[in-house]
Structure 1
Amino acid sequence: MNTLIVIAKEPLPGRVKTRLTPPFTPAQAALLAEAALADTLHAVAATPARRRLLVLEGRPGRWLPPGFDVVPQCGGGLDERLAGAFAACTGPALLIGMDTPQVTPALLDVQLTYGEAVFGPAEDGGFWALGMAEPDPSLVRGVPMSAAETGVVQRARLVGAGLRVRDLPCLRDVDTAADAVAVAARAPSGRFAAELSRVRGGVRRDR
């Protein structure tokens, strides 16, 4: 893969994982978001790629491993921000978010040839991964985000453009407390699972 992209927000209380509150406090939700982001970035860091790109809203912190280029997100809705991320790439690129800490290098190590795309559906109807051999921002721009039909519309865009689409396994995003428990069970040795155990147990940790 030429470029692996992670699009993310700085994990600040009240700015991330707001659907986790309640039952968690904003500070606990931010710690969970930080752990999810760290797991995601370390999986990307362990995946072969010429370039690893973090498209970030906010500032990088201790959770960022070495080897990443960091660029700010552009303005606009999520579709515009995803389009902007792809516009920063040349050659094959795979984009993921920070909501699937169970992701592994084996899932991310995909090769794309001319005319191909990869699509990773999410259980909530969205998608957790999107890759194109020749990144085309117009194939993302205008797709309704955070909706039940997001994934269907996005995949149809790829097919409609004449691309051969390969599907990745369906993963569950962490949006709610139930999602957090289910995802932690799928990756029990990760940072996210450990952080969830701490916050559920009432263990305090300084940020």
Structure 2
Amino acid sequence: MTSPPPHHRTGPVPHAPLSARRAGEGEGLTVLVIAKEPVPGRVKTRLTPCFTAEQAALLARAALADTLATVRALPCTHRIVALQGRPGPWLPDGFDVVPQGTGGLDERIERAFARCTGPTLLLGMDTPQLHAGHLAPLLAANAWEHCDAWYGPATDGGFWALALREPRPGLVIGVPMSRPDTGAHQRSRLTGHGLRVADLPALTDVDTAADAADVAPLCAGEFAAVHRALLADSPGAPGPEQPANRSTRAKAPHPAGETTSETR
């Protein structure tokens, strides 16, 4: 196996004892991004045929870059990427990189949470429009006074964020993923375990070309720039001035062989 770049630390994730963490806004929070190596043909396959496999991978890489840039600016204690695939130069400094391992998305999310202690926020790589304002309630000093979990619904029926005051087994495993009712099942699982749940704003995951056209104008980073550049090379792809048929945004089964890293 190729060794990761030296600036990416892998292995067990260190945590300061809760008693040693300073109180304050965002302090003591671990942010965990579940992501996938942006390899053509393995990521964002539902962006085709409007985009080629190579273009879809460029959009996936840009979405991850914007997400990680936002996470780097957050006032948190630890930043982790749970990665499916191999690390590359597209991963920035400042993140511990750990493997997702095998199994379904629910198993991989559960395994990622199991590496963490204390307040932990899970994000996907499919909301490049994410900024700190979307997370403001979670970053507040009193974020955990009246709740045990924060839940960020996605407009397709999934979820883009899940934060737990204290990760514990059984909160994700067995939740059906990549379905229009995934979010409902996940939220019900939390409340069924007696957790008090607070909601974050709803965001759109970038799964289809129509989603990309909707989200790109909301982004200020790489995703918007890459999307603009690719539109010129992909006349069939919908852009802001060419609204797509919204029926294309209905959740469809993933093509055979594709596994997702989205938090849906």
TM-score if structure 2 supplies the norm length? Answer: 0.74
2:228 to 176, 184, 197: 197
The equivalent residue for 1:185 is 217
CA distance in structure 2 between the aligned counterparts of 1:66 and 1:31, rounded to whole angstroms: 20
Partner SS, residue 233 of structure 2: coil
Deviation at 1:8, TM superposition (A): 0.4
User: Could you tell me which residue of structure 1 aligns to residue 181 of structure 2?
Assistant: 149
Q: Give the letter aligned to residue 178 of structure 1.
A: A
Conserved in 2, the CA contact under 8 Å of 1:119 and 1:167? yes
The equivalent position to 1:129 in structure 2, one of 148, 156, 161, is: 161
CA distance in structure 1 between the aligned counterparts of 2:72 and 2:39, rounded to whole angstroms = 23
Distance 1:85 1:106 in 2: 25
Displacement after TM superposition at 1:136 (Å) = 1.9
Give the CA deviation at 1:61. 2.1
> Which 4+ residue blocks in structure 1 deviate beyond 3 angstroms?
none
Whether contact under 8 Å (1:184, 1:196) holds in the other structure is yes
Letter in 2 for 1:156: S
Task: State the number of aligned residues.
Answer: 202
Partner of residue 56, structure 1: 83
By how many angstroms is 1:95 displaced? 0.1
State the 1:105 CA deviation: 2.1
In structure 1, what is the Cα distance between the partners aligned to 2:127 and 2:44? 12
- Offset at 1:66? 1.1
Quote how far apart the aligned CAs of 1:164 are: 1.2
The alignment partner of 2:226 has SS state of helix
Cα deviation for residue 113 of structure 1 reads 2.6
1:44/1:108 contact within 8 Å kept: no
Task: Name the counterpart of 1:11.
Answer: 38
C-alpha separation between the residues in 2 aligned to 1:183 and 1:146?
Answer: 19
Q: Secondary structure at the match of 1:7?
A: strand
Who is 2:200 aligned against?
A: 168
Most deviating of 63-72 and 116-125: 63-72
Deviations 1:165-198 (A, max 9, x none): 11000000000000000000222x2210100011
Question: Which residue identity does 1:96 align to in structure 2?
Answer: L
Would you say 1:68 and 2:100 are equivalent positions?
A: no
Q: 1:27 maps to what in 2?
A: 54
How far 1:33 moved relative to its partner?
A: 0.3
- The structure whose Rg is larger is 2
| Structure 1 pair 137–200 and aligned structure 2 pair: CA distance change class (3 A) | farther
TM-score (norm 1): 0.94
How far did residue 7 of structure 1 move? Answer: 0.2
Contact kept in structure 1, 2:135 and 2:200, CA below 8 Å: no
- Structure 1 residue identity aligned to 2:197: V
Most deviating of 110-119 and 89-98 = 110-119
Of 55-64 and 128-137, deviating more is 55-64
